[in-house]
Amino acid sequence: MCRTLLNAGYSVIGTGRRSERLAQLQQEYGKHFFPLTFDISDRHAAENALKTLPPQWQAIDLLVNNAGLALGLESADKVNLDDWNKMIDTNVKGLVTMTRLVLPQMVARNQGHIINFGSIAGTYPYPGGNVYGGTKAFVKQFSLNLRADLAGTNIRVSNVEPGLCGGTEFSNVRFKGDNVRAEKLYENVQYVTPQDIANIVLWLNQQPEHVNINRIEVMPTAQTFAPLNVARN
């Protein structure tokens, strides 16, 4: 997403925990890229990081809240409670923290766009989706509620809800380093790619200011719906 926006002429603040990845982008894009290393689940780290932004980087027109993770696919009675907390800390608390920190200057300038990352898991339940799907349902409703609060402003809010998206570390993280299991998920299927999603983010933001896409649900053509489960005696 950073590269797609940079190639389209945007100046980008890239955030993440791994400074070496951000340094790589800075090397490639020079003064158009500003690296900001922090863990989004640490509220004070996020507050402090944003305070270090030089004045010319403080007017943020587009906030892309894509940081998030799924951990495990165990059923709710067996799940690791730390995993649930980590998903809530990142997907919910991290996302609302960033939104609350960036939104005031958007409101002051009456300009801006927040693009949140939900998931199809926020709409369609699946076994083991439990808290992950719950966090993404939160993101969906939070995005819509932001629009209600921002009535009368020019600030846009969109929720991107991807389905099976390969070519990221999503499943390696979900399966805690079981890379064979992670790779299997993407075998013999044309999944949605990070570039597909980046193109959608750019397209959402490039709509005219009077056009707000509230939600956009994206699946690979190869992914559709399973029948509802009926447990029989």
Which chain residues interact with ligand 8X3 by CB under 6 A?
119-121, 162-164
For ligand 8X3, give the closer residue by CB, 62 or 164.
164
For ligand 8X3, give the closer residue by CB, 34 or 171.
171
Give the long-range contacts of residues 2-8, CB within 8 A, separation 24 or more.
2/33, 3/28, 3/198, 4/195, 4/198, 4/199, 4/201, 4/202, 5/62, 5/198, 5/201, 5/202, 6/32, 6/33, 8/202, 8/206
For ligand 8X3, give the closer residue by CB, 12 or 121.
121
CB of 185: closest distance to ligand 8X3 in angstroms? 8
Q: Which of 29, 126, 132, 191 is catalytic?
A: 132
CB of 198: closest distance to ligand 8X3 in angstroms? 16
CB of 141: closest distance to ligand 8X3 in angstroms? 16
Cβ-proximal residue to ligand 8X3, closest one: 119
Strand order in the sheet with 215-218: 62-65, 112-117, 155-162, 215-218
Do the Cβ atoms of 127 and 73 come closer than 8 Å?
yes
Whether 29 is a known active-site residue: answer no
The residues carrying an active-site annotation are 132
